Amino acid sequence: MRLTVIGTGYVGLVHAACMAEIGHTVIGIDLDTDRIEGLTRGRVPFYEPGLRELLHRGQESGRLRFTTSLAAAARSAQTHFVCVGTPQRLDSHAADLRFVDAVVDDLAPHLRGWCLIVGKSTVPVGTAARLGARLTRIAPEAEIAWNPEFLREGFAVQDTLRPERLVAGVLSPRADAVLREVYAPMLRAHVPFVSTDLPTAELVKLAANSFLATKISFINAMAELCDATGADVVTLADAIGRDARIGHRYLQPGLGFGGSCLPKDIRALMARAEELGLGESVGFLRQVDEINTRQRRRVVVLAEQLAGGSLSGLNVAVLGAAFKPGSDDVRDSPALAVAEEIHRQGARVRVHDPEAVDNARAALPWLQFTLDVPKSCEDADVVLHLTAWPAYREIDPAELASVVRRPAILDARHTLDAARWRSAGWTVRAFGRPKLGRDPGEGFR
């Protein structure tokens, strides 16, 4: 099939490259001329494992190319995927739909005959129907559908080529058939295909992200209780996760969630519910959001405790800048939020990250950044482990102890071997594990 993908950001570029990989002819469209020029030359504008290879294969095969011309692309295909951003509005929790609206308004005049506009952008329920009405006024034969994405940064290629499920909100059997043809290789591999109405398809992504955020904030709330009572949140999470109704996934206590999806998606769902007069129905999401934000403040408090008081004038090493491992994305990064707050308190902050240093430096140029772990920890009074990159688990704590001023580390992601670090002479703290703060036979420090 011939497809266009409008928007070459994270979702759009991954989708375009993967659709070319499974045999479709794809044109990626973006108004950003620098981005299109870079993509045409094979440059991926962000880090995502496996994406560069897919981009190059698609271009070499001739199945993937890029342009800034929406009109030319519209004439080349009947199926158009809309993959532009829907960030949080500056004046409220609601989603900013300007870019989605603009795509429909700009694309519609170029459409001829029957065609399918497929939204992949995350939008409030009711958006597809509204856009469909606008589309029909300009291009009466065109049809709208909604096909939400469920990509995890760091696993986006895998999640596109081998998804857990496909959801399609459609208005007609013809639209359903087109999307089944688009995803035919996945359907042959027995990926579930959920065909539904537009509002259900729109709600699926926001509901899924809200549920995941709730699990994360729940276990972090339990970590606070464990800190207050002497219980161990890791053992607690393991025990409740063995209940098949609950499961272990997303029950990892830590610094909480960030990035471009979960925070803004739960807020967008709250905002839409309030517009519908149903704010009380999702009121718990406000607590989910507040617990998540509080985790960042708790890191600062624990860092102060490890330092023995004020952080002002101290050297603080931060391991991690990306909002999660496997990505160079620093949007709403909990790690950078903590680093910035500690800087505000007068500490000298040096940040390490294996992939996100350039993006982090652009966001917070007043901090120090390095690609070398020992350099980031040189003369540190406190080390904060804030992004769970696998490489940090391989650090030799004995070697690192030789470069710091004080061997004290806060493992805010619960992925380090605390016993190994303590045996190397480190004081180790972690959310919900108060016993890490004392030596055997001693009282709490």
Backbone dihedral angles phi then psi of residue 428, each to the nearest 5 degrees: -120, 135
Cβ-based neighbours of 34, under 8 Å, separated by 6 or more? none
Residue 191: HSE in the Cβ half-sphere, 13 Å Cα cutoff: 20
Task: Look up residue 202 and give its DSSP letter.
Answer: H
Query: How many other CB atoms are found less than 10 A from the CB of residue 42?
Result: 11
Backbone dihedral angles phi then psi of residue 274, each to the nearest 5 degrees: -65, -40
Q: In what order do the strands lie in the sheet with 348-352?
A: 368-370, 348-352, 315-319, 382-385, 408-411, 427-429
142/134 Cα distance (integer angstroms): 11
267/167 Cα distance (integer angstroms): 22
Smallest CA-to-CA distance from 353 within 329, 332, 337 is with 329
Backbone dihedral angles phi then psi of residue 105, each to the nearest 5 degrees: -65, -40
| DSSP string over 79-130 | EEEE----PBPTTSSSB--HHHHHHHHHHGGG--SS-EEEE-S---TTHHHH
436/405 Cα distance (integer angstroms): 20
Quote the tokens at residue 324: 């999660």
Q: Is 226 designated active site? A: no
Quote the tokens at residue 349: 């902050």
Query: How many other CB atoms are found less than 10 A from the CB of residue 380?
Result: 24
Mark 416-440 as b/e (b = at least 16 C-beta within 10 Å). bebeebbebebbbbbbbbbebbeee
Quote the tokens at residue 79: 């199926």
Task: Please identify which of the residues 18, 83, 115, 261 carries the catalytic annotation.
Answer: 261
Active site residues: 261
